[in-house]
Amino acid sequence: MTTLHSFNARARRMLKATAATLALTGAATLGAYAPAAHADAIDTIAKTGVVRVGVFMDYPPFGSIGPDMKPMGYDIDVANLIGKTLNAKVELVAVTGDNRMAYLADHKADMLLSVGQTPEREKVIDFSKPYAPYYLAVFGPKSLAVKNANDLAGKSISVARGTLEDLSVTKIAPPSATIKRFDDPNGAISAFLSGQVQLMVVGNDVGATILARHPAIDPEQKFALFSSPDHVGLNKNEPRLLQKVDEAIAKARKNGTMNTISQKWLRTPLPADL
């Protein structure tokens, strides 16, 4: 089941990508990593008429293969609006958490989507302005009034034991809240869907999928916890390409397109403070 399978996909990818980034950083420090000389990315894109965008194809609702066997998702829509700004055809490059930093460094992709900004990654790549929210949140049925941490008092909440979700809600929950910890993410989600608990804490990507697939439960996002928004990742020393990407994001935010994408795929408005 995609919802259960993807629950901790973000966390796993972050760990793999951080390891890959550290490997590149270490190699660069030792002088073993030296990118081949290449033309300015903007000039290459203008010449070929193609921009190559690295995306996950197994990360709904950000990227997946639809019933028509075509890529679909939040990142696919963002890739297309960036391509429009660059006046270029978008070539989607399927990446994984293990290979995507190498794909960018080797210029197999001009940019990557769904990249969280970290100090380690800042040493080897540049980042656009944030374009999508990623955060942990409390989810529950609309019939249950929960707006903040204080409202968790007396409520039961499911989490996967020892995860960031567990640590985040444990830190803010009132003493009277009952936090039920499960050995794996599947158990935490199943407990909520079966009514064993009133609330659950998951990433907004998983929450959006649950909202879409379980209308009978009528779930909704209550409030957000830990936040790590998504950026476009680019090779360093590409200021013109970075400027164009930032322009595309700013324009899409200003004219409401980015909010429409957020509503479509995450089923929530784009946060005002993103």
pLDDT in tens, 57-93: 988 899 999 999 999 999 999 999 999 999 999 999 9
Cα distances (angstroms) measured from residue 164 to each of 41, 88, 117, 246: 37, 39, 17, 30
**Lowest mean per-residue pLDDT among 33-37, 110-114, 141-145:** 33-37
pLDDT in tens, 210-234: 877 887 788 889 999 988 899 999 9
Q: How many CB atoms lie within 10 A of CB 145?
A: 8
Q: Which residue has the tokens 């003493």?
A: 175
SS3 55: strand
Specify the higher pLDDT residue, 80 or 14.
80
Q: Which ranges in the chain are annotated with CATH 3.40.190.10? A: 2-133+228-266, 135-226
Does 5 have pLDDT greater than 80?
no
Does 11 have pLDDT greater than 80?
no
Helical ranges in the chain per DSSP H: 2-5, 9-30, 41-48, 74-85, 100-105, 119-122, 164-172, 185-193, 204-213, 239-254, 257-266
pLDDT of residue 217: 80
Model pTM?
Answer: 0.73
pLDDT of residue 205: 82
CATH class of 2-133+228-266: alpha beta
pLDDT of residue 210: 82
Q: How far apart are CA 100 and CA 97, in angstroms?
A: 6
Report yes or no: 37 and 182 within 8 Å, Cβ to Cβ.
no
SS3 233: strand
Contacts of 41 (CB under 8 A, 6+ apart): 110, 234, 235, 238, 240, 241
* Chain centre to alpha carbon of residue 216: 26
Look at the domain 135-226 and name its fold. D-Maltodextrin-Binding Protein; domain 2 (3.40.190)
Give the residues across from 136 on adjacent strands. 203
pLDDT of residue 119: 86
